[in-house]
Structure 1
Amino acid sequence: MGMKLLRKSVNEEYEYTLAFVGYADESEQAVLELTYNWGDNEYDMGTAYGHVAFAVDDIYAFCEQLEAKGADVYRKPG
């Protein structure tokens, strides 16, 4: 999706890492915060988050681009 890692925060006391990714600096637009909990090697699909949404001009073309780059689109539009 073209996002870049903007910053990373490691918390050794509580054993987690935060990664902040986005298209521009946090001062310019919203970013996505991802959490990695150390020692949790398994997540059940569908239980680790609510959802993430992106605004795109053409959802069908966007999904095709993601799949062309090797991403799995679990729930296709339509």
Structure 2
Amino acid sequence: MKYLHTMIRVNNLDESINFYTKVLGMNLLSKEDYPDGEFTLAFLSYGKTKQDPCIELTYNYGKHSYELGNAFGHIALGTEDIKGACEKVRTMGGKVVREPGPMKHGTTVIAFVEDPNGYKIELIQH
């Protein structure tokens, strides 16, 4: 077995691709439209192929909002400069919803940002 990707549904595909590529620095690996199924898929990764762990952004035609629910937690990304990453998110118009600092009951430095759809992304200082 091998981890391949996590799929999340998005309200605006171009806005989401912009956030994950320009703000978080991921690579857009593919964007494929499925008109008969009325959806478009975009795969993003820090790697170069879909064999690397990816995020799959799914846009369903005509669907402009979702309830995020309470089962999904967050996506986690490692960074060597958590303060710089948060500042970049803020500068690019994104939301920092938890400033960098030690996690509760621990010493690992974390922060949380939010993508344009409201999904939480945990940044972990390495």
Instruction: Provide Cα deviations, 1:30-74, integer angstroms capped at 9, x if missing partner.
Output: 221111111111234xx1782211111232332122112221123
Equivalent in 78, 84, 90 of residue 55 of structure 1: 78
5+ residue gaps, structure 1, are none
Which secondary structure does the structure 2 equivalent of 1:66 belong to?
A: helix
Equivalent in 11, 32, 47 of residue 24 of structure 1: 47
* Cα RMSD (Å): 2.4
TM-score by length of 2: 0.49
Hey, which of these two has a bigger chunk of strand by percent?
2
Question: Does 2:42 correspond to 1:38?
Answer: no
Which secondary structure does the structure 2 equivalent of 1:54 belong to?
A: strand
Find the aligned partners of 1:74 and 1:43 in 2 and give their Cα distance.
Answer: 20
**Identity %, equivalent residues:** 38
Instruction: Provide Cα deviations, 1:2-24, integer angstroms capped at 9, x if missing partner.
Output: 22321012222221111011233
**Cα shift at 1:29:** 2.8
5+ residue gaps, structure 2, are 1-23, 102-126
Structure of higher RCO (CA pairs closer than 8 Å, 6+ residues apart): 2
TM-score by length of 1: 0.71
